[in-house]
Amino acid sequence: MKPPGVAGAAASLDDAHEIAGLLFQITEQTRHVFESAARRFELTPPQARALLELQQPVSMRFVADRLRCDASNVTGIVDRLEARELVTRESDPLDRRIKSLVLTPEGHRARVALEAAVRSSPVMAGLSPSERRALLRLLGKIAGRGLPFDNSV
């Protein structure tokens, strides 16, 4: 028979292992759904993610932070979105050195359709709105306690 502390530690390790496995599974399922939705709109996943961040005009730095990538990567993503006339770059009225990204009418339509495709994902279909909010709170708690994200790894 194991001492109580050892049994509790083993159960905690089993829980952590199961949680990690489920998070990986959900991540893969979500990635698949998102990539499929992006392809339907002829977007790469980074382009689709950038488009979803544009609920209102935001700086390229904001998009880089949200995508967890270098600002130079966002330049290429935005160049392609701009070439497709989905976004425009406008000078910030308070600081002309800052470029704000603004959805065009076509970009807005694409964003709404992409958002609907992601929202209707079968990954979250079995959860009620209150369950989704609870999951969001728990995932936020986990994410907030993690180490700072390093995208160079």
pTM: 0.75
pLDDT digits (tens, 9 = 90+) for 15-41: 889 999 999 999 999 899 889 989 999
CATH of the domain at 88: 1.10.10.10
> What's the domain count of the chain?
1
Residues 83 and 72 sit within 8 Å (Cβ to Cβ): no
pLDDT of residue 47: 96
Please give the average per-residue pLDDT across 123-133, as a whole number: 88
Report how far residue 41's alpha carbon sits from residue 55's, in angstroms, rounded to the nearest whole number: 18
Instruction: Report residue 63 as tokens.
Output: 């998009």
Task: Indicate whether 9 belongs to any domain.
Answer: no
Report how far residue 100's alpha carbon sits from residue 135's, in angstroms, rounded to the nearest whole number: 32
Task: Indicate whether 76 belongs to any domain.
Answer: yes
Print the domain residue range for 57: 28-120
Task: Indicate whether 138 belongs to any domain.
Answer: no
Helix ranges, 41-148 (H): 45-52, 60-67, 71-83, 105-119, 129-145
Task: Indicate whether 51 belongs to any domain.
Answer: yes
Task: Indicate whether 10 belongs to any domain.
Answer: no
- pLDDT bin (cut points 50, 70, 90) of residue 9 is low
- Amino acid identity of 133? R
pLDDT reading at 7 higher than 60: no
